[in-house]
Amino acid sequence: MRVSKRFAGFALSLLAGICAAADIDFTRDIRPILSENCVFCHGPDEATREADLRLDTEAGALAVIDPEHSGDSELFRRLTSEDADELMPPPDSNRRLTPPQIELIRQWIDVGAKWEQHWSFRPLVAPPVPPSPAGSDATVRNPIDAFVQHRLAEQGLRPAPQADRPTLIRRLSLDLTGLPPTPAEVDAFVADNSADAYERLVERLLDSPAYGQRMAWDWLDAARYADTNGYQGDRERTMWPWRDWVVRAFNDNLPFDQFTRWQIAGDLLPDASEEQILATGFLRNHMINGEGGRIPEENRVEYVMDMSETMGTVWLGLTLNCCRCHDHKYDPLTNEEYYQFFAFFNQTPVTGGGGDPQTAPNLAVPSDAQRQELADIDRAVADLDAEIQALTDSLLDRQADWEQSQRERLADAAVWRRLSTQDVQATASELKILDDGSVLSLSNPAPDNDTYTVSAPLDPQRITGLRLETLRHESFPENSLSHAGSGNFVLTAIEVWLEEEASGEATPVPIDAAKATFEQPSHGVDKAFDDNPKTGWAVYEGRRVDRSHAAVFRFTEPLQIEAGYRLKVILRHESVHVRHNIGRFRLSLTDVPQPQLPTVSDALLAALRTPAEQRSDDQRKLLRTTHHESVPELQTLQQRRAERLKRRQAIRAAMPKVMVMGDMEKPRPTFMLERGLYNQPGDPVQPRLPAFLPASLDQQNANRLTLANWLVSDENPLTTRVTVNRFWQQLFGVGLVKTTEDFGAQGEIPVQMDLLNWLASHFRDNGWDVKDLMRLIVTSHTYRQSSKIRDLAVAQRDPENRLLSRGARYRLPAWMLRDQVLAASGLLSPVAEGPAINTYQPAGVWEEASFGKKKYRQDEGEKLYRRSLYVFWRRIIAPTMFFDSASRQTCTVNQSRTNTPLHALQTLNNTIYVEAARVLAEAVLQADLERDAQRIEMVFRRLLARDPEQAEQAILLAGLKRTRTQYAGRMEEARKLLAIGQSPRDRALDPIEHAVWTNLCLAVSNLDETLNHE
């Protein structure tokens, strides 16, 4: 074998620095080299695999490796070749192994080329807790310390001493609640000499409602929670009840395995509760695209992909999105397995159409107050139902007496008999006789004018009057009386004729008088028989006609009809108002001496005059209902019941609707998508778990609940590792695995791997108890260490503190900085839960981002000072003060940090920071303190939980003197500063002195220590 002379010479000089061959660890030393430089072309993805060679599997690698003989191994020959055509990686790949890396490969081959599965895919087994390092006097409070100090000893390092108590309580309070401790809390802790003082502090903070609020923030980032849909329309949604559920779940210490099942498949649990269904809002937090021109199916596929990939990131720490179009380049995930994951979420009935921010399936979620009111209403309705039933039962005994009284009252009431219409004609439209005897105009569009002629044979009888009913019908606009825009009509003439059937001779029947249910001003019913075609009867009441009407026409003389006669009625509509023709009407006759508009219905009158034993069911029901309606006491009860039902309906209409999960009754088939395109379906797939990870669950009829159960099963090696790592990141600023989002081959190999595996095993085996895990971590000496650098040489050996030789120090996130100053100043509102609020924001931000379509309306009062968790989050332009936060457009689990000038621009000038400084300054000036030094101490204790050092006092006292000089004679400038923010100020204070102390409080709020986790 020919080896590069250049490499050979350089490698010899490195041998002393390379680890001993026996110490080579495949996972730590070899796999990262192969993954970074070789696996892209020789990995899982068949599409990019060269020479049919795999270097991501043991079987594949052995094709080019001869264990214990690097000189005979093709892999080593290619790595060291001087021939550009044979050198690997190829020169044009922009990848190249360093000589130390090549030497590591050689040594690894020569000691047997031991292969190991990727560390995070291995079964999770708790490693033994190592003994304390020999001769060490460092504090070991729990197994975390044993693992950390063992690793430190290997590197010749020692842990830092414990931080002082003020630092500890501030650190712990910020980590567990996101809020600083009060001076009283600091004093109590510092003065507590009991052995368990720290442990009791931990318990108090874990029991605080603020704990769940702090824990929820990172979960909302991962869940891509926001208050709008995103995209250009960015419509507002009401997912906040799910946010509040997350807070409660952390406060209630819901075991993380249940926390998982509920959010992935709560709706599929047996007898799923409202809370379990609400939890599935996690999956529906994705963006919704309602832009015009979007294809619904394309949207739907994007939504399902988002659900799949979010699950992959949050629970598996895998980059599933790398498999949309092809097999994963580095991890053993195939393109087919991506769509098998996709299939779990593909059964949602969401179609992708429209941009409804409450797209079904959704769940109406009442607030506690609404829930209580609904319960009160239900009880009240039940009580009223009981009263109504008792009263209606008592009315049965009074039914006969009531009927008799009604018969006596209506003894002289007219009985109207429907005219048995046989023939109807119209001059311009088509008419139809309906089953109820009414006549309907079928023409649409209606003619401008029309005349109807109705003809009916008569039996021998006496007739004193005619009733015309104008009736609503659904075929007319808004169920009105005609096709006119107002639903009105104008009857310009009504003519009644008596016709002899044999001769055809017709005699007019004069009308003496008429009455109507309503008459439009200047269009009385008498205008229908005044022989003037320019006038007529109409019923417009200033709005679209929305009720039926009737008119009674009394004949001048009663008609005594003999056999062989017909009645002909002509209705003329010759108004200048077009289409004002009666659309539906019915004619009836009576023989009473003075025909009047009926006070009761014909049906009721007939029922009353029918013997009880001969009545139909409908007649009995009508009489019973009418009797009940005549009882004031019953009507009062029913009105009260109706009012409560109306209130219940109003509450339900006002309840926020949370988008949740649900599966279609008929399963939707799932296909692989070529290049991830929605309209390029390939082979069909079923919901399945990945083959490279153990899964003993029955997958025959797999659904989301199958997936959820597998995620938290003992055999899944990823979920507990990934979850514990995120909680560690939350406390230390960086996870034990720095690449929180990627536990695959391209992710970081943990420096403290044994610690991670032990913690993950403990978390799983201890009931997925989140508070127990947090308690275990924060009570360790590792967590309690001072963050001060004691030895620069040691710090340079581990600049990022990955070995954990000191406490964590990092920039606080912007949301926590805001909450910190609100709490320290006393401005923080205790109100939690409910709809998001609009706090201070520069003018025009929303408007510019939305082309003027979204207007920012700032809230007032205490809403301005609620915790950052409750600030309204618009996806196209996130809250401006949270410049280092996730966009919430996609799942984010890796925290970003910044100390750019933008950060200082916010914390020195944002309204909330200046106002908080003003309010804190006011509290300082109102306190019973005589000297400036005492006031500075109060500021420090509020913001930093400690007293200032002498040098700090001197600097700030000099600053006070300088600021007083600057403000001297500049009252307007002082007042301008004090006018910032809406909270009222104590006008009894000297404005200049107040402004001076505001500047000092703002300065202390911006100290490096204030802005950092110490």
C-alpha span between 651 and 379 (Å, rounded): 16
- Identify the burial level of 901 via C-beta atoms within 10 angstroms of its C-beta, where 0-12 means exposed, 13-18 middle and 19 or more buried: exposed
C-alpha span between 254 and 259 (Å, rounded): 6
Mean pLDDT of the 440-449 span: 92
3-state secondary structure 844-874: CHHHHHCCCCCCCCCCCHHHHHCCHHHECCC
Confidence of residue 20 (pLDDT cuts 50, 70, 90): low
- pLDDT tens per residue across span 537-587: 999 999 999 999 999 999 999 999 999 999 999 999 999 999 999 999 999
Element at 561 (helix H, strand E): strand 549-561
Statement to judge: residues 393 and 527 lie in one domain: no
User: b/e per residue, 341-351, with b = 16+ CB within 10 A?
Assistant: bbbbbbbbebe
Q: For residue 14, what pLDDT is reported? A: 37
Statement to judge: residues 434 and 501 lie in one domain: yes
C-alpha span between 467 and 591 (Å, rounded): 12
Statement to judge: residues 618 and 701 lie in one domain: no
Mean pLDDT of the 27-32 span: 84
- Identify the burial level of 417 via C-beta atoms within 10 angstroms of its C-beta, where 0-12 means exposed, 13-18 middle and 19 or more buried: middle
Q: For residue 956, what pLDDT is reported? A: 97
559 and 507 Cβ atoms separated by less than 8 Å: no
Domain boundary among 715, 737, 753: 715
Asked whether residue 972 is domain-assigned, the answer is yes
C-alpha span between 803 and 388 (Å, rounded): 76
Domain boundary among 697, 715, 733: 715
C-alpha span between 941 and 731 (Å, rounded): 23
CATH number at residue 470: 2.60.40
Please tell me what DSSP assigns to residue 396: G
Q: For residue 68, what pLDDT is reported? A: 87
Q: For residue 412, what pLDDT is reported? A: 65
Asked whether residue 434 is domain-assigned, the answer is yes
At 756 the three-state DSSP class reads: helix
Q: For residue 18, what pLDDT is reported? A: 44
Confidence of residue 22 (pLDDT cuts 50, 70, 90): low
Question: Does 19 score more than 70 pLDDT?
Answer: no
- pLDDT tens per residue across span 509-522: 999 999 999 999 99
Statement to judge: residues 668 and 643 lie in one domain: no
Q: What is the dihedral sign for C-alpha 220, 885, 999, 820?
A: positive
Q: What is the dihedral sign for C-alpha 87, 91, 95, 99?
A: positive
Tell me the residue range of the domain where 644 lies.
368-411+614-651
Statement to judge: residues 318 and 387 lie in one domain: no
Q: For residue 469, what pLDDT is reported? A: 94
C-alpha span between 351 and 927 (Å, rounded): 62
Mean pLDDT of the 727-749 span: 96
Please tell me what DSSP assigns to residue 162: B
Q: For residue 377, what pLDDT is reported? A: 97
Least confident of 70-84, 310-324, 531-545: 70-84
Residue 859: what residue type?
A: D
736 and 757 Cβ atoms separated by less than 8 Å: no
C-alpha span between 102 and 18 (Å, rounded): 11
- pLDDT tens per residue across span 67-77: 888 888 888 88
At 122 the three-state DSSP class reads: coil
Asked whether residue 970 is domain-assigned, the answer is yes
- pLDDT tens per residue across span 586-625: 999 999 888 988 777 777 777 888 888 998 998 889 888 8
Q: For residue 413, what pLDDT is reported? A: 67
At 506 the three-state DSSP class reads: strand
Q: For residue 61, what pLDDT is reported? A: 84
270 and 257 Cβ atoms separated by less than 8 Å: no
Tell me the H-state helices in 87-238.
99-110, 143-154, 165-177, 183-191, 197-206, 209-222
Statement to judge: residues 350 and 428 lie in one domain: no
Q: For residue 17, what pLDDT is reported? A: 40
Domain boundary among 669, 691, 715: 715
Confidence of residue 10 (pLDDT cuts 50, 70, 90): very low
- Torsional class of 110: left (φ above 0), alpha (ψ -120 to 50), beta (otherwise): alpha
At 135 the three-state DSSP class reads: coil
Asked whether residue 239 is domain-assigned, the answer is no
| Residue 92 Cα distances to 84, 88, 170, 255, 465, angstroms | 10, 10, 53, 52, 107
How is 59-89 classified by DSSP, letter by letter? HHHTTS--TT-GGG-HHHHHHH-S-TTT-SS
- pLDDT tens per residue across span 910-936: 999 999 999 999 999 999 999 999 999
Confidence of residue 21 (pLDDT cuts 50, 70, 90): low
Question: Does 7 score more than 60 pLDDT?
Answer: no
Statement to judge: residues 276 and 353 lie in one domain: yes
Give, in degrees to the nearest 5, the angle at Cα 727 between 726 and 730. 90
Asked whether residue 101 is domain-assigned, the answer is yes
| Residue 507 Cα distances to 497, 498, 560, angstroms | 5, 5, 13
Q: Which of 588, 587, 589, 583 is nearest to 432 (CA)?
A: 583
- Pair of tokens at residue 603: 């049906």
Beta pairing class for 461-470 and 584-590: antiparallel
Least confident of 29-33, 103-107, 606-610, 621-625: 606-610
C-alpha span between 494 and 966 (Å, rounded): 95
**Between 33 and 755, where is the model more confident?**
755
Please tell me what DSSP assigns to residue 835: S
- Pair of tokens at residue 41: 């072309």
Question: Does 4 score more than 50 pLDDT?
Answer: no
Statement to judge: residues 477 and 542 lie in one domain: yes
Statement to judge: residues 665 and 629 lie in one domain: no
- Phi and psi (nearest 5°) for 88? -125, 140
Statement to judge: residues 393 and 442 lie in one domain: no
Q: For residue 336, what pLDDT is reported? A: 96
- Pair of tokens at residue 802: 């990955």
How many separate domains does the chain show? 5
- Pair of tokens at residue 351: 């179609």
Task: State the average pLDDT for the chain.
Answer: 93
C-alpha span between 825 and 565 (Å, rounded): 98
Q: Which residues pair with 657 in a beta bridge?
A: 364
Asked whether residue 646 is domain-assigned, the answer is yes
| Residue 788 Cα distances to 140, 164, 355, 801, angstroms | 20, 11, 52, 12
Asked whether residue 152 is domain-assigned, the answer is no
**Between 897 and 126, where is the model more confident?**
126
629 and 388 Cβ atoms separated by less than 8 Å: no
C-alpha span between 748 and 107 (Å, rounded): 23
At 557 the three-state DSSP class reads: strand
C-alpha span between 235 and 231 (Å, rounded): 9
How is 697-721 classified by DSSP, letter by letter? S--TT--HHHHHHHHTSTT-SSHHH
118 contacts: CB under 8 Å, gap ≥ 6: 27, 31, 331, 744, 745
3-state secondary structure 262-319: HHHHHHHCCCCCHHHHHHHHHHHHCCCCCCCCCCHHHHHHHHHHHHHHHHHHHHHCCC
Statement to judge: residues 485 and 528 lie in one domain: yes
Asked whether residue 674 is domain-assigned, the answer is yes
At 513 the three-state DSSP class reads: strand
pLDDT cut 70: percent of the chain above it = 97
- pLDDT tens per residue across span 770-823: 999 999 999 999 999 999 998 888 888 999 999 999 999 999 999 999 999 999
Q: What is the dihedral sign for C-alpha 941, 943, 946, 951?
A: negative
Statement to judge: residues 471 and 518 lie in one domain: yes
Q: For residue 966, what pLDDT is reported? A: 95
